Structures are given as structure tokens and as C-alpha cells.
Amino acid sequence: MPAALATRESALRVGIDPFWAPLAMLVTQDLALKLHFRQRIVLQHDNLPHQGPVLLAPTHRARWDALMLPMAAGRRVTRRDCRFMVTTTEMSGLQGWFLHRLGCFPVDQGRPSLTTLRLAVDLLADGQQLVMFPEGQIQRQDQAIKVRPGLVRLAQLAEKQGVTVPVVPVGLGYSQARPRPMGRAAICFGPPLRVPNEGGRRAEQRFNQDLSEGMHAAEQAAREAVGRPMNCL
């Protein structure tokens, strides 16, 4: 790990703990997911890069999303961890104590700190896999996907540092809006997108529209796989 990345992780008190991370993987993937869902489906996995920097942009439909992503894209599959960017409120208390040790790090969506942004860019420069929920919060209703501007700006910042980052739209679907025991869950990886070389608000808007459409298509495939097609939007 580069010295700069190690320094930033230390400043934010985050990182992959060699004891807690494997234990969490055992508890979540071998126990929680298998006991709660009778079927877990992964679609279009070939769209997921297994090497080099990648920014995963998933829909956010339930807290189970944070378990499904490492199952489909984490250490057992790609030999690398999912580094989640989460809200500052989620990084508090006992939950925050664990998240700090599982590679997650906090971001203030309204005013992200320079330290957080630099850590995200350093992780991408190190060829790691970053997860950022573009919608910002859980959305349980079938409605048009609205992405916040943070993801495209982070990807553009990485590009300015010479780090080309594919952005993979990801859709998650469950057989119920609020996943119930013995239900079905699916995750679908859409074709990677590239951020525009040119800056400006119009370029950001075009990319965010493409990302929204990619996330919607991936979610539609996931929902169809669990027998709960989306309402037409």
C-alpha cells in the first residue's frame, strides 16, 4: 500500500482489519444472506472488472445491499474488498466501530472533506474497488432514479490525477420491497461507463443521465429475476 494512502487511512481511522473483515465475511455471506434469502442471483457478472480501479454505482433499496455487493463483487470473487463510502451518520456508535474496520469511510454528502476525497482518489489510484450509492439514501418506491453530483465529480477528480476509472451501474432487486425471510435477491452489473473528458455542468448532466439509465436497466433485470418486475416509469 502506498505511504500516502496508509497515512490518509490512519487519519480517518479506517482500513481493512485482518481479524474483523474475514469474520464479517463469514457471518454475512455464509450465515445472514443464506439464512434470510432462499436464492441469491448474480447477473451479467462479466461487466465487473476484476483488476484496476473501478467505481461501483448501485441502486439502494435495502440495508441488505451492503451485504449483497461484497457477496457478488468482494474478496471471494475478485480477490479484493469493496470499499464503501457511507454517510457520516452511519459511521457512529457500535455500527461505526465495525464499519471503520471493514474498509468503509465517511463522507459528508453536502460538503465532503478534502481528506475524504483524497482518500477515495488514492484508493482508486491503488487499483481498488470503491462503492458509492449515487442516490444517497434508500429508495423503496418505484420511481425515476436521481443521482447526486458527487460520483461524477469524484471520477473526474481521479481522471485529473491520471487515474482512468470505469463506473459500473449496479441494480439490486428483492422479491419484496422490504426483504422478508426466505425471499429472493438479485444483483445485476451493467456495462461500465466512462466519465466525460470535458468538464462543465452539461457534461455532468449527460453522464448522470447515462448513469441513471444504466442503473435502471440493471435494476429492472434484477427485479425480473426475482419475479417482481418494475412498474413502468
pLDDT in tens, the chain (233 residues): 787 788 778 777 788 999 999 999 999 999 999 999 999 999 999 999 999 999 999 999 999 999 999 999 999 999 999 999 988 888 888 888 888 889 998 887 666 677 888 899 999 999 999 999 999 889 998 999 999 988 998 999 999 999 999 999 999 999 999 999 999 999 999 999 999 877 788 889 999 999 999 999 999 999 999 999 987 66
Cα distance between residue 143 and residue 216, in whole Å = 10
pLDDT of residue 19: 94
pLDDT of residue 109: 67
Helical H segments across the chain, by residue range: 3-12, 20-25, 33-36, 65-73, 75-78, 93-101, 114-125, 150-160, 201-225
Cα distance between residue 168 and residue 189, in whole Å = 7
Q: Which fold has domain 37-225?
A: Glycerol-3-phosphate (1)-acyltransferase (3.40.1130)
Cα distance between residue 134 and residue 150, in whole Å = 8
pLDDT of residue 93: 84
pLDDT of residue 40: 98
pLDDT of residue 85: 92
pLDDT of residue 167: 98
pTM (two decimals) = 0.94
pLDDT of residue 129: 97
